[in-house]
Amino acid sequence: MTHKVTGKAREYIEKQIEFAKKQLEQVRQDIEDIINSDPDLKEKSKLLTSYKGVGRKTASILLIEVPELGRLDNKEIACLVGVAPKTSESGRKVSKAQVIGGRFYARKALYMSTVVAMRHNKKMKVFYQRLVDSGKAAKVALVAVMRKIIICLNAMIKNNNFYLDV
C-alpha cells in the first residue's frame, strides 16, 4: 500500500529532513573540530587515514568507538571490534566459528573501509582472493580481511607509524 503525501504534510516532512541534515552536518563538524583541537587525536587520525581505504569519517568513528586502539594486543582489538572468530563447544558438539558482538559502529565503518581497501590495497586483495580460492565463503574472507586491517591499524597507532604500501 502506498500513500501520497501532499500539501502541508509534505512541506513539514521536507523541513524536518532539511533540519536533520543540518544537525548531522553540525555534529560531523563538531567531531572534526574536537579531533583537530586535540594533538593526540589529530596525530592518530593522520596515522589512520594513511591506510588506503580509511578516510576521515572512518578514522573519526574508530577513534570515538575504539579509544583503546593502539593499547591492546591483536586478539583483544579483534574481539573488541567483533571480528575475532569464536567457536561454541559443548561436550562433543563443536559449531562453526562465528563473529559475535563487538562494537557495532566500529565494525560497520571497518566493513566499508575493507570494501574500499580491497580495491586499492593489493596485499588485501591478494589475501582475500587466496581465502576465496581455498574454499572460504566470500563473507568469511571479508571478515578475515577486516580482522587483518584492524590489527594493522592498531599496530600503526601503537608504533606511531604511517602505513607504507610496499
19-33 pLDDT, tens per residue? 999 999 999 999 999
- Tell me the three state secondary structure of residue 46: helix
Task: Name the more confident of 153 and 1.
Answer: 153
Long-range Cβ contacts of 59-66 (<8 Å, 24+ apart):
60/31, 60/32, 60/35, 61/105, 61/106, 61/109, 62/106, 62/109, 62/110, 62/153, 63/35, 64/31, 65/103, 65/105, 65/106, 65/109, 66/103, 66/106
Is 0.95 topped by the overall pTM?
no
For position 1, what pLDDT does the model report? 55
Q: What is the mean pLDDT of the chain?
A: 90
Residue 92: its pLDDT value, please? Answer: 73
**Digit-coded pLDDT (tens) for 32-79:** 999 999 999 999 999 999 998 999 999 999 999 999 999 999 999 999
Spans of all domains in the chain: 38-159
CB 60 within 8 A of CB 29: no
